[in-house]
Every structure is written in structure tokens, then in C-alpha cells.
A and B are shown apart, each in its own frame.
Chain A
Amino acid sequence: MIGRAALVLFLALSSAALAVNPDEILADPAQEARARAVGRDLRCLVCQNQSIDDSDAGLARDLRIIVRERIKAGDSDSQIKDYLVGRYGDFVLLNPPFKPATWLLWLGPLVLAAIAAMVALAFYRRAGRRAPERPLSEAEKKALEALIKDQG
């Protein structure tokens, strides 16, 4: 009996619901699919690097419900995101927007790839300069033939 009571108490204390809950899911599968796609790009602001779809925090649930309400109201995906950015700032977007503060972030990989390509190019050029193609000299040819004869 005590065990049962304790269990109820603990389950009550820890009534954290996991991620997307049945009562949140929209009846229209297409709308729900949109809600999931949008949710994956939104950060649960109080969590460490989790999307609202993956989080069991209360705030994530609130945001999931907001997203679904907006979808039902006929907002487009970008309108929903704009609305949430207006409330919480860029921090809410897991996919950072392209703007001056993130130029370095988005262009960085391209710059890095370009640097890598240039390093490779310089490497092959230098190697090419260091070893000009040169035919064998007469003496070397004779030595080579002698070696081949030896083997045979």
C-alpha cells in the first residue's frame, strides 16, 4: 500500500511528459507534418540545444501549442517563425538566419573549403616546380639497361 502511494506521489511529482503529446497533435496529418517540420527548427529556449519537438520542458509544450494554433489560424511557416522571433529573438531559431552577425558562420565553411583548395593547389604547384620532368641521361639509360639484363 505504502509502495503504491509512494509511486503515485512520485509519478505526480515527476509528471514530465515526453516531447510531442497526443493531446497536442492536430487532426489533419498534413498540418501536423508542417507543425513537426517547423518544430524541428525551433529551439526550446530553456533547454540545452534541444528542439521543441524533442523536449519535455513545459515551455517547449507551450511553443508546440502556439505553433499548432498559428497553423490552424492559417499562418505560413515563415509567419510562424517571424512571430516567435518577434517574441524571443533569433535565439529561438535552430537554423540561424543569414544576417551580418552570422555572415561568418554561414560563409565560414565556404571560406574554409576555399582555403583547403588553395593549400592543395599551392602544394601541387610547389611539388611540380621542385621536380621538373627530366628524361634519363645517357649514362642513366645504360645503367638501367645493365640492371634489367642482370635481372633477366
Chain B
Amino acid sequence: MTDTTSTQPADTARASELSAVARFLKATELDTRMLGMIGALLLIWIGLHVISSLRLGVNPLDFDSRTFLTPRNLWNLSVQTSAVAIMASGMVLVIVMRNIDLSVGSAEGVIGMVMGFAQVHFLVRFVGLELGNPWIWVLALLIGLALGLLIGAFQGFIIAYLEVPAFIVTLGGLLVWRGAAWWVTSGQTVAPLDATFQLMGGGPAGSIGAKWSWVVGIVACLAVIFMHYNGRVQRKRFRFPLRPVWAETLLATVTCAIILGAVWLANSYPWPVGIVNRYAAANNITVPEGGLFIAHGIAIPVLMAVAVGLIMTFVTKRTRFGRYVFAIGGNPEAANLAGINTRWITMKVFMIMGVLATIAAAISSARQNSSTNALGTLDELLVIAAAVIGGTSLAGGSGTVLGAMLGALLMQSLQSGMVLLGVDSPLQSIVVGAVLVVAVWLDTLYRKRA
């Protein structure tokens, strides 16, 4: 009330003084820190591309196939990012509620082992399903999901109802579940996995091909356009201020361009020659001279990650549960006084985290076509780093799913870029660690100014 007396005129007066950039941001309602992240990502990509080109002595603008910005490398990057991105989307909720989950990597390990054991030994030998039975992957995944839910519920219960700090409970979990992963088969690797289950790991078979990729891309674009339109209709209905039409159009166009660009990229990465020839032989296709171009298209794990991202964004923004998670993170006492059952919400958040660890475990084990007890080692740190780099505040109360997923992409870009450049693995750890600290420091500066 003190300063509202002058708010209206002051706002209009200030609007004319705003710079072009500020006016642009105001009109589009874009988040500057999200733009900053996208900028950082592009910078890293271009930097890695230039360095990798110079190392080979080729012109960066030739986009040589061994450099960073190639369909093949970016496609692989997308697959590698999926598992961490999926878990990071759940870690956002955990951290927003002022908790932490250090056990996700180990949980991923034990769940991966159990799913591997289930499909290779248990369902085949003890239940009596034939190898290759199409139900095997479904049952294995369901067993994994149940286990993930149980692990999350168990840890969440101790945290919410027995009031043991999340840091301690999940630190215990980090050791317990890793040990449990070893016990499943006494340390033996389980391989090969069920053929259908493997599709979740990507690869030529685990991608949806050019045609379906375009279908997905176009449907996504239509959805984007519809959401912008619907948003306007809703705001008009209540006579709320609207974004200018040009800003709305620009946002929708850029989003669609990014989606279609990603599809085009995925469709520019062909199957390897050997697999094409085998496929041609199996389907009686004669391979023309110069080879047959069969595109990968979008990989299944990437689609899974996108689906998880959309669902989690929906949960955080549009459901009562998501609203409560943020309110509790902002002021636990106020949430309690408002009649929110904070304990049950806490437990549910950890259950979601457990389910997401299962999906990540399925992707990672399918990708290496084996379950090992080391699966997901140190993933908890990548996941937390991704969430934090993506703007999730460790003090609780703020964070976005999209930011965390971009954070995962950023971390993975650095890591796979360094592999491409032949950086020694100890040095890779040093760089990743340093980047994390610098990113959070920059974020602190940003928050102080905002």
C-alpha cells in the first residue's frame, strides 16, 4: 500500500524509458535466466565445435563429420542426456521442497539390476515365459516401477514422518541401494537384455524413423500454436493484459522452428552402412549405388525424456500438488497453516523421484544392453548439478523442470565434447566440477541483482 499509491503512473512513466531489450523481454514475458542458459549452451556448443574443427585442421563452417556440431554427435548427445534429464526433472521437486536426494544413482543401480535379473532370469526361468515373449519387457518394467515407488516411499516416509533429514536418509540410501545392487546377482553382469526392452536405449532400432519423427514434430508445433491461442482466449475472457500479437507470434514461431530443427537434425543422421545392408538383405531391398539413406529419427529414450518433461511441467504448473510443493518450499509453516498436509506431499515427491529413477535405469541399462551393479554410479551428482545449473535454488521454493533438463543437456554437452576432444577423464571431472561451482556463483550474482 505504501508504494502502490504511485504504482500506476510510475509504471507507465518507466515504460517509455525502458531500453529496447527490456521492452522486448517485457512484451514476450521471457525469463532472462532461461535465455542466459540457452545462450550458455549455444556458446559451449559453438566453442566445442570450433575447437574440435581446429584440432582436425578443418574449417568450422564445413561441419566435418568428426566435429561437435554434426547430426551424429548431437543425436548421441540427446540420447546420453535422457536418463539424467529425466531424473533432474524430479530432483527439481525434491530441491524445491528444501530436501535433497543423494540416493538416485544407487537406486537407479539396484532397480536396473532387478529389472535385468527379472527379464533375463526370473521371468524366463521361474515364471516360464519364452525368451522374446513380448510381455517380458512390460513385466520387467512394471517390477522396476513398483520397486522404484517402494524405495521412494520408504525413504520419503522416514524423511516426512520420522523427521530424519533428507540428506542423511538418502546418504544412507546411496550406500544401501548400491550394496543391494551388488547382492541381486552377487556382482555378476546381466546381459543380453530383452530385445524389446533394448529399444528404450536408442540405437537404429530404438528410434522412430524419419516419417514418424516429422509427425511428432508437426503435432508438437500444432500443440504449441494451440497453447498460445488458448492462453490468449483465456486471458481475454477475464480481460487480463495480453502479450502483444507480435511477441506471441514470435515466441510460437521460434518454438516451432526449434522443434522442427531438432527433427530435421535427427533425420539427418543415417543408419550405419552395415546395419543398412543387413536391413536391406532382410527385407529384399537392393541397395542402390552410393548406399541407402535410412534416417534414425528421434530416439525412443529422447521421446521418453520429452514426455517426462512435459508431464512434470504439467504437474508443477497446473496441479494442486505442484502448487503445494512450491508453497511448502517457499514457506513450510505458511503451507501448514493453510491446511496443506506437508508430510504426505513430501513423501509423494520422493515416490515420484523413485519412479523417475526407474525410467532412467531402464534407459541406461537398455543403452548398454546389460545391467551392472555400477549402473548409475555418480549419477546423483550429475542430476543435482543439472537441477542447480538449471536454476533450482538450494534454498527451496524456486526451479523449473525445463531449466533442469537444459542443465542436464549442458552438463552432458561439456562431458561428451571433452570426450570428442580427447580430454583425459580426470581432467573432465575437474572441468565439470569447476563449471558447476562457477554456474552457481553466476546464479547467485543474478539473484542478488534481480
Q: Do A and B come from one complex?
A: no
Using CB atoms and an 8 Å cutoff, list the residues of chain A in contact with chain B: none
Using CB atoms and an 8 Å cutoff, list the residues of chain B in contact with chain A: none
